[in-house]
């Protein structure tokens, strides 16, 4: 995929014009999400209402992902991002009006959450697939590290900033902030060219007919199924999410039930997580990882497992060891995740990337409720620590075992020819 470096010699200005706008939009979206969750909590005081809101936010990723990926691979990705960001801005503006008019209802918030989730389901794969066509291969891991850093920054900054704004601004003003930051994401897209991949010839196309949407979805699933190394990566990601999503959701129970702590100790745990993610992303963006990205990711996966295991094995009296374990898990998560996305961006054919990314996104989203459904009873029966031990051991075994799987270790060699043989972007 050397076409990126040939056609985009000055890639930093166009790419970071878009990237910066997207990050500003994420800040606004995080503040809006915090405000909505707080409003639901304060208004209803119902755990069922909050759980329903979370479920609504996950459903589009779970059920629409593969179809959305096929559409994104068909359509102009720049326009997809403009429309997706525009949809999110419009529903936020509508919500701001409802808050201002005093007409807001819980049902309205559910509709907004669903619309925002649908917009995000389209936007994320379009941005990921566009990144591989705008950024030279050798810098993809560094860009992925910056993305991990921003996730950590948002996890640290959004709650206190959201709480501060709720104290000085009305809810409709916070929704208006989301609209303004969405504009920062949309405007650069009108002026920056994003290369489009040429679609490969299809058997159906040879007969003069355009492949159906379902045919494109099947092709995306087949693309993953027939590449064993890629399929193994997808399966590992699903297992990791199954164990670690519930583990990090159970941190409040760990703090109160095992360590006997209160809000102060929970704050330290949350800070350790956010700081670890930020520092891990910064290290990856500066270092770039090993030449073979898969080695960097596997090292990160093992380190993530060690940190999670340390949390699970920490005695009641050594709270700070648990804090250190969570910091290590977050730090190594950034080291693990960044190269995985860069690896996929390099190896997956450009006109297949949105479908591959959305399959991973769908499986990861599906693992969240499934993992929680299993983790809850297990934690109640054996204590919350057992889930951290199980998750840590699973990550360590998968990371170490992958070194003995040729399909994974040779992934970059096996698929390099397939990826580089694709048509150049237009």
Residue pointed to by tokens 């429309």: 83
Please report which confidence band the pLDDT of residue 2 belongs to, taking 50, 70 and 90 as the band edges.
Answer: very low
pLDDT tens sequence across 249-294? 788 888 888 888 887 787 788 888 889 989 999 999 888 888 888 9
Q: Are 327 and 370 in contact (CB under 8 A)?
A: no
pLDDT value for 416: 53
CATH 1.20.1250.20 is right for the domain spanning 1-194: yes
- Tokens read off for 341: 């996305």
Rounded Cα distance between 368 and 141, Å, is 26
Q: Are 20 and 149 in contact (CB under 8 A)?
A: no
- Tokens read off for 87: 């949809």
pLDDT tens sequence across 108-126? 888 888 888 898 889 888 9
Q: Are 281 and 327 in contact (CB under 8 A)?
A: no
Please give the distance of CA 364 from its chain centroid, rounded to a whole number.
9
Using CB atoms within 10 Å of the CB of residue 35, give its burial: 0 to 12 exposed, 13 to 18 middle, 19+ buried: buried
pTM: 0.78
pLDDT of 3 above 50: no
Q: Are 363 and 372 in contact (CB under 8 A)?
A: no
Q: Where are the alpha helices (DSSP H) in 45-76?
A: 47-74
Higher pLDDT, 214 or 322: 322
Cα–Cα separations (whole angstroms), residue 66 to 69, 122, 415: 5, 11, 22
Assess whether the region 1-194 and the region 219-418 belong to the same CATH fold. Answer: yes
Q: What mean pLDDT, rounded, does the chain reach? A: 84
Please report which confidence band the pLDDT of residue 403 belongs to, taking 50, 70 and 90 as the band edges.
Answer: very high
pLDDT value for 367: 85
Rounded Cα distance between 284 and 251, Å, is 26
Nearest by Cα to 194 from 135, 122, 150, 124:
135
pLDDT of 381 above 80: yes
pLDDT of 4 above 50: no
Nearest by Cα to 372 from 268, 246, 233:
246
Q: Are 181 and 29 in contact (CB under 8 A)?
A: yes
Rounded Cα distance between 69 and 357, Å, is 7
Lowest mean pLDDT among 10-19, 46-55, 87-96: 46-55
pLDDT value for 306: 96
pLDDT of 7 above 50: no
Highest mean pLDDT out of 25-34, 244-253, 352-361, 396-405 = 396-405
Residues 6+ apart with CB under 8 A from 169: none
Q: What is the mean pLDDT of residues 4-20?
A: 73
Using CB atoms within 10 Å of the CB of residue 352, give its burial: 0 to 12 exposed, 13 to 18 middle, 19+ buried: buried
pLDDT tens sequence across 326-343? 999 999 999 998 888 888
Highest mean pLDDT out of 205-209, 299-303, 374-378 = 299-303
pLDDT value for 199: 65
For the chain, the first-to-last Cα distance in angstroms comes to 13
pLDDT of 315 above 80: yes
Please report which confidence band the pLDDT of residue 362 belongs to, taking 50, 70 and 90 as the band edges.
Answer: confident
pLDDT tens sequence across 150-195? 888 888 888 788 878 888 888 889 889 989 999 999 999 999 888 8
Q: Where are the chain's structural domains?
A: 1-194, 219-418
pLDDT value for 313: 94
SS3 category, 262: coil
Q: Which fold has domain 219-418?
A: Growth Hormone; Chain: A; (1.20.1250)
Please report which confidence band the pLDDT of residue 59 belongs to, taking 50, 70 and 90 as the band edges.
Answer: confident
pLDDT tens sequence across 289-307? 888 889 999 999 999 999 9
- Tokens read off for 192: 């920056």
């Amino acid at each position: 995929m050397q076409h990126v470096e040939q056609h985009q010699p000055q890639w930093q200005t166009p790419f970071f014009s878009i990237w910066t706008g997207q990050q500003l939009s994420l800040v606004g979206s995080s503040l809006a999400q915090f405000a909505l969750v707080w409003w639901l909590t304060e208004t209803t005081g119902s755990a069922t209402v909050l759980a329903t809101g979370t479920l609504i936010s996950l459903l589009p990723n779970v059920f629409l992902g593969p179809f959305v990926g096929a559409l994104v691979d068909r359509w102009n990705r720049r326009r997809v991002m403009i429309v997706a960001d525009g949809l999110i801005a419009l529903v936020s503006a509508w919500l701001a009006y409802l808050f201002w008019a005093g007409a807001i209802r819980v049902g309205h918030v559910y509709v907004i959450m669903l619309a925002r989730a649908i917009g995000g389901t389209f936007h994320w794969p379009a941005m990921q697939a566009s990144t591989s066509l705008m950024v030279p291969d050798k810098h993809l891991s560094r860009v992925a590290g910056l993305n991990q850093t921003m996730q950590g920054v948002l996890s640290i900054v959004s709650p206190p900033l959201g709480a501060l704004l709720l104290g000085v601004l009305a809810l409709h003003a916070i929704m208006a902030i989301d609209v303004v930051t969405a504009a920062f994401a949309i405007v650069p897209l009108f002026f920056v060219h994003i290369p489009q991949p040429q679609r490969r010839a299809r058997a159906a196309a040879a007969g003069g007919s355009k492949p159906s949407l379902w045919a494109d979805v099947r092709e995306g699933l087949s693309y993953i199924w027939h590449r064993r190394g890629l399929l193994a990566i997808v399966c590992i990601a699903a297992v990791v999410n199954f164990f670690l999503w519930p583990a990090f959701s159970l941190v409040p129970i760990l703090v109160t039930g095992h360590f006997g702590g209160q809000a102060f100790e929970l704050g330290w745990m949350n800070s350790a997580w956010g700081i670890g993610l930020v520092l891990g992303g910064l290290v990856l963006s500066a270092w770039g990882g090993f030449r073979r990205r898969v080695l960097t990711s596997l090292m990160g996966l093992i380190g993530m497992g060690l940190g999670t295991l340390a949390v699970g094995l920490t005695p009641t009296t050594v709270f700070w060891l648990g804090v250190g374990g969570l910091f290590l898990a977050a730090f190594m998560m950034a080291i693990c995740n960044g190269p995985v996305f860069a690896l996929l961006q390099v190896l997956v054919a450009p006109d297949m990337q949105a479908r591959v990314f959305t399959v991973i996104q769908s499986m990861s989203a599906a693992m969240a409720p499934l993992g929680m459904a299993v983790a809850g009873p297990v934690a109640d029966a054996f204590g919350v620590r057992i889930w951290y031990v199980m998750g840590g051991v699973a990550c360590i075994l998968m990371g170490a075992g992958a070194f003995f799987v040729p399909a994974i270790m040779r992934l970059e060699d096996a698929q390099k020819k397939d990826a580089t043989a694709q048509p150049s972007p237009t």
